[in-house]
Amino acid sequence: MIRDDIKAAQIEAMKAKDSARLGAVRLIMSALKNRDIEARTGAAPADDDVLVMDVLSKMAKQRRESIEMFEKGGRAELAAAEAAELAVIESFLPKQMSEEDAKAAIAALVAEAGATSVKDMGAVMALVKVKLAGQYDMGKASGLVKAALV
């Protein structure tokens, strides 16, 4: 499980006295703990890895946005710190698909859904979220789906 990998990474970072990695891992664990607390009020997740990947992908998206903002603002040192955190977060996520692989997978899902126009985009995106979760950025996927349906 991904959660076990994160706990092991925390222990490794402590032993190696790698404070930057340890800080990033602790941020991940804190976000997971917050998500666990939120989940107590709702239904329990069917698969813990899905929940962990969701939290990690949101954290990665936040870091990418922060890096972009810091670079626009001329704050290279803050962008570098965010990039280091992003690298740690991405190390726990599954390997991302290339754009060519994603296009092929989306074309197959369009055919599977029987989609013919942009009106069917919702049905295709529902399949994409299930089949490609954690493997490709959903923001980019929606653009690829739209291009495949036009």
pLDDT in tens, 66-81: 999 999 999 999 999 9
For residue 43, pLDDT over 70 is answered with no
Q: What is the pTM of this model?
A: 0.73
From-to residues of CATH 1.10.1510.10 in the chain: 2-92
CATH topology (fold) of 99-149: Arc Repressor Mutant, subunit A (1.10.10)
Q: For residue range 46-101, list pLDDT tens digits in order.
A: 667 878 888 998 999 899 999 999 999 999 999 999 999 999 999 998 888 888 88
From-to residues of CATH 1.10.10.410 in the chain: 99-149
Tell me which residue of 49, 59, 75, 65 sits closest to 26, measured CA to CA.
59
CATH superfamily of 2-92: Uncharacterised protein YqeY/AIM41, N-terminal domain (1.10.1510.10)
For residue 44, pLDDT over 60 is answered with no
For residue 134, pLDDT over 80 is answered with no
